């Protein structure tokens, strides 16, 4: 039976149950492209609408191994939701298996968010299925030319790769009131260095903390994740009294933090960080950026010397030098922030990303003799 939906996004989790960059990208796309829905897994299976308009079908998550969520209920739902086009978000090995068991023959778009970096054994076992899926795809979307050029996997599929940078929509971000900004300022002050994100192993936060010791400015780390306890212990051991953990923050609180900070610091040091939505948010709020050169889209978002500083990865001294430069030179920080805002408006709006995906969907369906 043909579904009322035309585009089905499939990924291991969804927003707001988890708030990583991939989840935000999926939400941005489905909010802007009609007749889209999301199929995912959750500990709390449900059918729901996000924001009153985005349909999400969450099947039961049975277990998770090396970040690979597994739930056989996904198979029957994928078959039942017989949408004309499937949009899978890579990497997710169980999702790939589900495609071949219940979704094959339908047009397939894959957004390639990241190489598998840490799970080398899983990557080796998964490689045959991965190449089979990528070979089957009608299009593979990469989020930057930087990642295409540096990914050994994508090198084999350049003839079907399309580059669509991630975009975010300013209107989707609730603006804090002056009172809400003042409340956050009372907790953390102003002109601090800000990190926002899930506290994962590849985020480079250990190096940020080491870079912060003894500096005159505060460093605020907003977010939660598996590295929190280890990082809090490190702060205590180093006596880094200027480092504050904000924990989970709402979108309103995040907006207030962005308005109050001097710069956004994004110290990810491994290729698992393919783009960095937080960097886009920094551009959108007109803040200078500090990131690391890891051969991915982070250096496409943040142009060294123009929108901020790009430093070597896993290098506390380089991070400290970049933060000190923006701390000691507020006029430079303001100029870089202004340049970042212009770059956001030119390249990274949500509507620009959605328009590119609409065009891509239409091309794929047309090539298959289908119409959206």
Residue 21: pLDDT band (50, 70, 90) is confident
Which domains are present in the chain?
Answer: 7-169+349-367 (3.40.50.2000), 171-347 (3.40.50.2000)
Q: Which pLDDT value is given to residue 372?
A: 63
pLDDT tens digits for 159-204? 999 999 999 999 999 999 999 999 999 999 999 999 999 999 999 9
Of 67-76, 162-171, 201-210, the poorest mean pLDDT is in: 67-76
Q: What percent of the chain has pLDDT over 90?
A: 74
Token pair, residue 164, equals 């669509």
Whether 3 shows a pLDDT value over 60: the answer reads no
Tell me which of 121 and 142 has the higher pLDDT: 142
Paired strand residues for 141: 111, 162
Cα atoms in the 13 Å half-sphere on the side-chain side of 220: 26
Which is nearest to 23 in space by CA: 131, 173, 205, 166? Answer: 166
Measured distance CA(37)–CA(344) in Å, rounded: 27
Residue 308, Ramachandran bin (φ over 0: left; ψ between -120 and 50: alpha; else beta): left
Tell me which of 327 and 126 has the higher pLDDT: 327
Span 1-19, average pLDDT: 79
pLDDT tens digits for 220-233? 999 999 999 999 99
Q: Which pLDDT value is given to residue 1?
A: 42
Span 103-125, average pLDDT: 81
Which is nearest to 154 in space by CA: 110, 121, 124? Answer: 110
pLDDT tens digits for 96-107? 999 999 878 899
Paired strand residues for 335: none
Cβ 12 vs Cβ 68: under 8 Å: yes
Q: Which pLDDT value is given to residue 11?
A: 93
Strand-strand pairing, 7-10 and 85-90: parallel
Backbone angles phi, psi at 68, to 5 degrees: -100, 105
Residue 270: pLDDT band (50, 70, 90) is very high
């Amino acid at each position: 039976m043909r579904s009322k939906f035309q585009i089905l996004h499939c990924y291991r989790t969804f927003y707001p149950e988890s708030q990583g960059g991939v989840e935000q990208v999926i939400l941005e796309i489905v909010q802007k492209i009609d007749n889209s829905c999301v199929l995912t897994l959750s500990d709390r299976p449900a059918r729901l609408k996000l924001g009153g308009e985005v349909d999400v079908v969450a099947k039961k998550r049975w277990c998770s191994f090396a970040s690979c969520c597994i739930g056989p209920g996904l198979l029957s739902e994928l078959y039942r939701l017989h949408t004309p086009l499937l949009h899978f978000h890579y990497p997710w090995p169980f999702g790939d298996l589900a495609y071949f068991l219940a979704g094959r023959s339908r047009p397939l778009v894959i957004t390639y968010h990241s190489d598998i970096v840490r799970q080398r054994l899983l990557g080796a076992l998964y490689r045959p299925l991965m190449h089979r899926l990528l070979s089957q795809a009608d299009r593979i979307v990469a989020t930057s030319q930087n990642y295409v050029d540096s990914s050994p996997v994508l090198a084999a599929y350049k003839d079907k790769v399309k580059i669509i940078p991630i975009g975010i929509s300013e209107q989707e971000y609730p603006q804090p009131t002056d009172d809400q900004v003042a409340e956050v300022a009372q907790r953390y002050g102003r002109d601090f260095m800000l990190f926002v994100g899930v506290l994962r192993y590849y985020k480079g936060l250990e190096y940020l903390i080491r870079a912060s010791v003894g500096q005159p400015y505060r460093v605020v780390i907003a977010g939660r994740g598996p590295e929190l306890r280890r990082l809090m212990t490190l702060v205590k051991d180093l006596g880094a009294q200027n480092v504050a953990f904000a924990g989970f923050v709402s979108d309103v609180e995040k907006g207030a933090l962005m308005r109050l900070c001097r710069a956004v610091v994004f110290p990810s040091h491994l290729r698992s960080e393919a783009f960095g939505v937080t960097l886009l948010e920094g551009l959108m709020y007109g803040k200078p950026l500090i990131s690391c050169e890891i051969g991915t889209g982070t250096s496409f978002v943040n142009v060294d010397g123009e929108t901020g500083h790009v430093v070597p990865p896993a290098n506390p001294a380089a991070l400290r030098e970049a933060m000190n430069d923006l701390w000691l030179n507020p006029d430079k920080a303001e100029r870089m922030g202004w340049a970042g805002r212009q770059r956001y408006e030119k390249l990274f709006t949500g509507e620009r990303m959605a328009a590119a995906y609409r065009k891509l969907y239409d091309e794929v369906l047309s090539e298959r003799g289908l119409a959206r």
